[in-house]
Amino acid sequence: MDKGAATADSVEVTFRGRGLAILHGSRLVLKICPLCSQRNTRRTAETGTCNWCAYVPSRADAEPVPRRTADPSPT
């Protein structure tokens, strides 16, 4: 199983709508940087910092990714 993948005890988050990370308790896995929009390698993502621009996102800016509905009901 991918260690960076979201599980039942984790939450996918963005930072004010930018980037993508997975929050495992207090640990942050930064998949896509909210500052430079580059995708991190798995090893670097686990550190919680951006491999490209060294940005360290603030947990205070983290917002849960809204869940999509599979089939919205027609109106």
Q: Does residue 17 sit within a domain?
A: yes
pLDDT in tens, 28-50: 999 999 999 999 999 999 999 99
65 in a structural domain: no
Whether 64 is in a domain gets the answer no
Residue 71 has a pLDDT of 61
Residue 73, in any domain of the structure = no
The angle subtended at Cα 45 by Cα 69 and Cα 63, nearest 5°, is 40
**Residue 19 in this model has a pLDDT that exceeds 70:** yes
Instruction: Say which residue, 1 or 24, is predicted with more confidence.
Output: 24
Which among 26, 24, 34 has a CA at the least distance from the CA of 4?
A: 24
Could you tell me if residue 51 is inside a domain?
Answer: yes
pTM of the model: 0.77
Instruction: Name the helix (H) or strand (E) containing 43.
Output: helix 42-45
Q: Is residue 74 part of a domain?
A: no
**Which residue segment(s) compose the domain that 46 sits in?**
10-57
In a domain, 3, yes or no: no
Q: What total of structural domains would you count in the chain? A: 1
